[in-house]
């Protein structure tokens, strides 16, 4: 079923939201929190391969895509509160499943900590615990802090593979097509996301997350090394680690594999 876009006011700021309605007998709602600097559209392929009985809600973070920038720094707890407020605005009062991709995984963990009754299950995809996590490669980290370097790096096939690993090593043209709009629009929104990521960690509190959590991580992910997923799996009592041989973008480059895997966890 076709997703519907709208602008929703959260804390006085306009947020672009996309809702894919469930087909047939609804099985629940999945809220997706994007990765750093990533518009909701970048996850279109993955959403298309999720079970159609699942309603899927996505949004652009402040200053990214169609959402207006807040203009001031915010922390991960503030973003988690905004996500909860967004669910209220959308009249979603029942617990929802939450998928956090990369940066979004930290927000998803914080939401489960701050508003545990709003979260049914977690999917943490290529994510970590925030500032106290094991950092990625120098090239990957430098790219996030320098948009001009990011654009230059994505013009080089080898650099794309070294930044993202996995399928990106053999499919650089697909990576460029996937991230083209994101790379062209980096600005204040990206920097605010970086500030939030650098000033918060869920590490001391992750063991309070009681929801079942599927932790998906690649063994060839230069941006978020596998050890971070192992830490999450050890800290979250009901966390289950699923590793794959790919990298940071494999779920987006091979959604036909990852979509059903995620749905299987959410529907069981």
Catalytic residue flag (residue 102): yes
Residue at token pair 């930290």: 106
How far is 237 from 169, CA to CA, in rounded Å? Answer: 34
Q: Active-site residue among 102, 126, 127, 263?
A: 102
**Which of 198, 73, 107 minimizes the C-alpha distance to 144?**
198
How far is 244 from 101, CA to CA, in rounded Å? Answer: 15
Question: Which residues are marked as active site?
Answer: 102
């Amino acid at each position: 079923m076709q997703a519907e876009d709208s602008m929703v006011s959260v804390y006085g700021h306009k947020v672009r939201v996309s809702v894919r309605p469930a087909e047939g007998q609804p099985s629940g709602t999945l809220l997706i929190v994007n990765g750093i600097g990533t518009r909701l559209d970048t996850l279109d392929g993955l959403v298309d391969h999720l079970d159609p009985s699942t309603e899927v809600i996505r949004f652009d973070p402040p200053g990214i895509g169609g959402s207006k920038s807040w203009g001031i720094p915010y922390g991960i707890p503030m973003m988690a509160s905004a996500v909860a407020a967004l669910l209220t605005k959308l009249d979603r009062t029942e617990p929802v499943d939450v998928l956090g991709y990369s940066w979004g995984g930290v927000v998803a963990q914080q939401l489960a900590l701050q508003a545990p009754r709003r979260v049914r299950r977690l999917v943490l995809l290529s994510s970590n615990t925030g500032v106290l996590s094991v950092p990625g490669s120098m090239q990957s980290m430098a790219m996030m802090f320098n948009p001009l370097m990011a654009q230059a790096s994505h013009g080089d096939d080898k650099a794309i593979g070294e930044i993202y690993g996995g399928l990106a090593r053999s499919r650089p043209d697909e990576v460029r097509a996937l991230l083209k709009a994101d790379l062209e629009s980096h600005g204040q929104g990206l920097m605010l996301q970086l500030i939030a990521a650098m000033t918060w960690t869920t590490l001391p509190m992750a063991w309070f997350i009681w929801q079942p959590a599927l932790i998906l991580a690649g063994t060839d992910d230069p941006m978020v090394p596998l050890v971070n997923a192992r830490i999450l799996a050890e800290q979250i009592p009901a966390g289950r680690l699923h590793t794959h041989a790919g990298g940071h973008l494999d779920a987006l480059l091979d959604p036909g594999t990852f979509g059903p895997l995620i749905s299987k966890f959410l529907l069981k």
